[in-house]
Structure 1
Amino acid sequence: MDFLGRLPLLVLLIGIAGLAMLVPAGYAWATGWRAIAEFFGFSALLLLVVTALLAVATWGRTAPQRANGLPVLATMLAVFGGLPVALGLPLAMALPDTGLFNAWWEMVSSLTTTGATLYAADMLPPPLHLWRALVGWLGGLCVLVTAVAILAPLKVGGFEIMSSPYGRDERFQPLPESAGSRRRKRQAFYSAGSERATPSLRAMRVLRDIGPVYAGLTVILWVLLLLAGDPGLIALVRAMGTISTSGISPVTGGVGAHSGIMGEMMVFCFLIFALSRRLWPGAGELRASDSLRSDPELRIGFGVVILVALVLFARHFVINIEQVSDADSVSTTVAVSLRNAAVATWGGLFNAMSFLTTTGWNSVDWQGARNWSGLQSPGLLLAGLAMMGGGIATTAGGVKLLRVYALARQSERELERIVHPTSIAGGGRMARRLRGEGAYLAFIFFMLFALSIAATVILISIHQIEFDTAVMLSVSALTNTGPLAGTIALTPSFESTAGIASNPWEGWSGLATLPKTVLAGAMIVGRLETLAILALLTPDFWRR
């Protein structure tokens, strides 16, 4: 680990990308796609050779004094913007008519766990579906690792609302511990203040704890989906798309097309890991509450999911009951309504959880939920869920639930002060922090997020794209929820193509080069978040 820790983070990730290409290469060779296997094998060999050369060139260099500072954010920006060029090499070779630009765009979408695609699901060979899902899976793991190793020390990515501006711990007051306490050593293990720890070394340390759990959950869900009835590749891609919240799928249609409602229930349970970072190991210092029951992200997440399902249920049920005047027919109508409502309610629950975690999958019962509630255009509802997002430091995108919670508590406090001007709010130091500086920073982020949407809409509308299409594509990219663009009928664009396998009716592949580039940049901004990007523009970053 010490040897790898001395290498630049970008060099490490290039090597990991080369090793990852061996997985679809082996699968393609075993399933008879020999040409695609050779493409992946050649690309893997090329990246491994480049990694070795860069490792030799950078070996022995002294780590910069600002290794824990803003230049690390520039490295992350290079990872999400430049590494997809290497990741897209086998895709560009397997689809000669698509071009390297479209392959880069597809890999940016996968690596940022957005899940938007330029291609029709039935037009891509299975090894390419596996590669897209694997890149999205690795992108989710990268987010979990870098959130603790890089973003948390810099107080960006959602950590700014929990950090004290006075340099002291405002979370809890634990009992004093001995000098040799295991807990104290573990906190030092993740400490970003260590001057000797390079970003690569910190990332390797965090990966050592998170990696096995991340892979283990994926394998468990894969086995459960296989037992529920999903074919092998579909089950594996679904499992990787669920844990990473990438929403990448090798087929069209609902999640339960093969596994039924049991498969959807399994996916629903594993999506809960995207609601709070405290469900992952090594998140002791990232907690916003002292107990799991009082965790604000879990409470507001489950509350929103249940509220959406209840609204969809009650909207039609009340109207249906009011239209029945005959007492004898009431019982029959109610029985039929309850049976249909049970199916529709599950569709609402699953879709609410899916889009809240920015996964973007639809339930097989979602159409029934729409018909039951009379919801003709669900795009606005699902876009709102995607904009709220999941927990901070998780694989989910969006604004993040903790920021929503901070603003809600601040609003509640202001209403209390109107009724009782001299009241004193309780809740502990962490609650006061969230209501004060935390809510202020959350509001700033909301404004920056809104400005990002406006800027993206303006830039992609240069090519005369319909306004509703531009808005949905922008929100989909900035929230890292690619399937969101398929929730409404977008006006297709035919200014460009991604080859014979492209699908312009989904709203992505037919766009011209400029809108595609802007949307790819929006995906990266949504993944790193606006505050982190703005931190790169500060004078301190450019000052020697």
Structure 2
Amino acid sequence: MALPLFLLMFGIASVSMMVPALHALVLDDESTARAFFYAGLLGIIAFVLIAVAHAGRKPRHGALGPLMSLFAAFVTLPVMLALPFLEALPSTRFVNVYFEMTSALTTTGATMFSDPERLNDTLHLWRAQVGWMGGMLMWVAASAILAPLHLGGFEVTAQAEPGRRDTGQGARSVAADPRARLLRVCRALVPIYVGLTLLLWLLLMAGGDRPLVAICHAMSVLATSGISPVGGVQNAGIGTSGEAVMLLFMLFALSRLTFSKDTVTATQGGLRNDPEFRIGLFIVVAVPLVLFLRHFLGAFGVDEGDNLAKAFYALWGAVFTVMSFLTTTGFVSEHWAAAQDWSGLATPGLILMGLALIGGGVATTAGGVKLLRVFALYFNGAREMERLVHPHSVSGAGAAGRRLQSNGAFIAWIFFMLFALSLAGITLLLTLAGTSFDQALVLSVASLSTTGPLVDYASDTPIRLIELSLAAKAILSGAMVLGRLETLAIIALLTPDLWRS
């Protein structure tokens, strides 16, 4: 039976509620177990009834359907996901829970409940699970939905305009049966995603983490959601070894070549010559060294320059935190504060905001502008500088440059300007909704880059989201969806050619 993509996502979400229901039942929390079980059961019944009513209908294929289903999932699915959460926590309002589920599904990870003790273990598991499913959705959607339309970063490499279908043989087969492509991508990527999550969970438990905390952190690292049941990695007590394991798994958010070669971003040369991966590693090495040098010079002012132990922890804290925010995960090392204790200098939150804006790799769970677009702008800038010195020079593209189309830098610049305009517009709307300018800027960057933990570390004082006005919460919910799908995808939904098809 060929069912609509959105209906399939609704059914999967309904079945997934049985996991927290079973978890609450094991913990003897009957009220929470009933909330998730009944909500999941009603969702499954609704799914079956709609599927039966849809039987016999000829599905309409085309470019618009899957993209519209993806947009609808991020906007409407949080309503269904919020129902058991609200039933298990009746002391809050629906708008807060809807924001929480939208934040989790878009892998943003911003939370209304800054005090982890307000939520029970099952609700923490549900937040992490929704974020994990949102990450898996983006893994699949990148190859099955965004790549054929040259969106989500593929517009820099594809030989077509953003929002238009490929005209090659592969694209014709996708247009004929897009569900076949979705099924093929799911078969290839879902086992990898699940396997990596289970492996990280086992490694974190071997390092001494509690099973619940370990599985939540494992799901959050793979989905780059930054959701934690204990308020962050710094409160888990896993030590440097546990953070090192998490850092290795964050590498999957730097480039899609780390786990798949199913998209046009995969070209000759492999991971070693992948510009996204190389730029990401350069940032992870260069930025911590600059931060360490700053703290090292400050440490001499307080006679701590010869304390090698504090120096090592300060350097490691910077490496882990830079990698985490570059991949838009948002976890902070437990040694991040050690650098401040060592030198007496605070780390500017603007650095973390800049890292989140750069973001991770194309077709990964990371948000932000994406490293491939940054590479396109850098490559074009370097070429223009060369032409200033040698105006009549002829330059070969090279192995890395062949990944970009001739006007890839122009399209990357257009996206960057759209991103900047979106950032300015959301900041303006938040200030009109009663938020101070400093907080509005941090919130805008956090939502558009899908890096929720910025609200705790990028400002002088943590921002309490639950204290924001209703209008501000609605604006941020829309901004998170915009940041997850990106501006070009939203514009593509308004393209008349797609509606005619």
Spell out the pairing of 1:379-528 with structure 2 (5 A cutoff). Answer: 379-428=349-398, 431=401, 434=404, 436-489=406-459, 506-528=463-485
SS of the aligned residue for 2:396 comes to coil
Question: How far is the alpha carbon of 1:196 from its aligned partner?
Answer: 6.2
Spell out the pairing of 1:251-290 with structure 2 (5 A cutoff). Answer: 251-255=230-234, 257-283=236-262, 285-290=264-269
Aligned to 1:240: 219
Alpha carbons of structure 1 residues 393 and 530: separation in structure 2 relative to 1, 3 Å: same
The reply on whether 1:351 has 2:314 as its aligned counterpart is no
Whether the 8 Å CA contact 1:144–1:394 is kept in 2: the answer is: yes
> Partner amino acid for 1:214?
Y
Aligned to 1:87: 81
Aligned to 1:52: 48
Question: How far is the alpha carbon of 1:76 from its aligned partner?
Answer: 1.1
Question: How far is the alpha carbon of 1:195 from its aligned partner?
Answer: 5.1
Question: How far is the alpha carbon of 1:369 from its aligned partner?
Answer: 2.3
Alpha carbons of structure 1 residues 421 and 151: separation in structure 2 relative to 1, 3 Å: same
5+ residue gaps in structure 1? 168-186, 325-331, 492-504
The reply on whether 1:536 has 2:493 as its aligned counterpart is yes
Aligned to 2:273: 294
Q: Distance in 2 between matches of 1:456 and 1:40?
A: 34
- TM-score normalised to structure 2 length: 0.94
> Partner amino acid for 2:453?
P
Whether the 8 Å CA contact 2:349–2:459 is kept in 1: the answer is: no
Question: How far is the alpha carbon of 1:68 from its aligned partner?
Answer: 3.1
Question: How far is the alpha carbon of 1:543 from its aligned partner?
Answer: 3.9
Aligned to 1:172: none
> Partner amino acid for 1:113?
T
Alpha carbons of structure 1 residues 429 and 260: separation in structure 2 relative to 1, 3 Å: closer
Q: Distance in 1 between matches of 2:399 and 2:117?
A: 54
Query: How many residues of Structure 1 are paired with residues of Structure 2 in the alignment?
Result: 495
SS of the aligned residue for 2:453 comes to helix
Q: Distance in 2 between matches of 1:166 and 1:355?
A: 31
5+ residue gaps in structure 2? 163-167
Q: Distance in 1 between matches of 2:149 and 2:384?
A: 30
The reply on whether 1:73 has 2:52 as its aligned counterpart is no
Aligned to 2:165: none
Whether the 8 Å CA contact 1:108–1:520 is kept in 2: the answer is: yes
1:179-229: CA deviation from partner (whole Å, max 9, x where unpaired): xxxxxxxx98xx443156544332222111101110011011001100101
Spell out the pairing of 1:119-158 with structure 2 (5 A cutoff). Answer: 119=113, 120-158=115-153
Alpha carbons of structure 1 residues 56 and 272: separation in structure 2 relative to 1, 3 Å: same
Q: Distance in 2 between matches of 1:7 and 1:197?
A: 15
- Structure 1 consecutive aligned stretches of length 4 or more whose deviation exceeds 6 Å: none
Whether the 8 Å CA contact 2:147–2:263 is kept in 1: the answer is: no
The reply on whether 1:20 has 2:21 as its aligned counterpart is no
1:294-323: CA deviation from partner (whole Å, max 9, x where unpaired): 1101100010011111001112334656x7
Whether the 8 Å CA contact 1:256–1:363 is kept in 2: the answer is: no
> Partner amino acid for 1:134?
Q
Identity, % of aligned pairs? 48
Question: How far is the alpha carbon of 1:528 from its aligned partner?
Answer: 0.4
Whether the 8 Å CA contact 2:298–2:345 is kept in 1: the answer is: no
SS of the aligned residue for 2:233 comes to coil
Aligned to 2:25: 29
The reply on whether 1:310 has 2:289 as its aligned counterpart is yes
Aligned to 2:6: 10
Question: How far is the alpha carbon of 1:104 from its aligned partner?
Answer: 1.5
Aligned to 1:175: none
Aligned to 1:177: none
Q: Report the aligned-residue RMSD.
A: 2.2
Alpha carbons of structure 1 residues 122 and 166: separation in structure 2 relative to 1, 3 Å: closer
Alpha carbons of structure 1 residues 352 and 206: separation in structure 2 relative to 1, 3 Å: same
Q: Which has the larger radius of gyration?
A: 1
Whether the 8 Å CA contact 1:247–1:361 is kept in 2: the answer is: yes
Q: Distance in 2 between matches of 1:373 and 1:468?
A: 26
1:486-537: CA deviation from partner (whole Å, max 9, x where unpaired): 014467xxxxxxxxxxxxx643111111110110100000100000001112
**Partner of residue 100 from structure 1, selected from 94, 101, 118:** 94
Question: How far is the alpha carbon of 1:289 from its aligned partner?
Answer: 4.8
Alpha carbons of structure 1 residues 349 and 373: separation in structure 2 relative to 1, 3 Å: farther
Q: Distance in 2 between matches of 1:59 and 1:257?
A: 49
Whether the 8 Å CA contact 1:91–1:103 is kept in 2: the answer is: yes
Q: Distance in 2 between matches of 1:368 and 1:435?
A: 45
1:124-164: CA deviation from partner (whole Å, max 9, x where unpaired): 01000000100000000000001100000000000000011
Whether the 8 Å CA contact 1:406–1:435 is kept in 2: the answer is: no
